[in-house]
Amino acid sequence: MTLQALALTSLIALAAPAQVAAERGPSTSAERTRAVETTRRLERDPLGSGAGKDRRWLVQWIVEIPDIEVKGCSGPLDVLKQDDGSRYGRVLYVQSMFGIAAFLIEHPRDKDDWVQVQLAGVESVLRAYRSLLSSEPGARWKELDLLAEARRQGKLREVIEETMEGCGQERVQGPGDPI
């Protein structure tokens, strides 16, 4: 399976987490440890041997577990989801979900701080992006370069807070909203 196909399959798989989550119990300590270690490995080497298998496991695990809820928000990473011929955009986008899950495992008391949760996802993407560029220097994204610069300037949290639409608001899903 290509990286693009994996990312697309991953995004589609997230459409029905409630149904799958009802079929199993909460995550185990061993699974949570594996999820954090796998996330960090993908940040260090997003194209490494076994990366596709690791992503498939993480996506399936996130979808199935009922005790850790990974919510993405519209914002600066949305450009990565677009099918513009890039080989890595969707892979990087899915990495944000992994970063969020790892953060929620490591910082369960901060689960209601939507800015910190989303920041963890973006940070995970930026670490994977930096690693990706070391092996694929032409795989640049101006949006990620801008986020990396904001991080260097100590302004990434502020950027997240200003650009991620509707994250801090509870709202009921309406007709036509994605699941």
How high is the pLDDT of residue 129?
Answer: 97
How high is the pLDDT of residue 23?
Answer: 73
CA distance 28 to 30: 5
Task: Write down the pTM of the prediction.
Answer: 0.82
Burial of 108 (0-12, 13-18, 19+ CB in 10 A): exposed
Q: Where are the domains positioned within the chain?
A: 3-15+29-163
* Residue 71, strand partner residues: none
For residue 160, what are its two tokens? 């997240």
Sign, CA dihedral 123-93-30-103, equals: positive
pLDDT band at 83 (very low <50, low <70, confident <90, very high): low
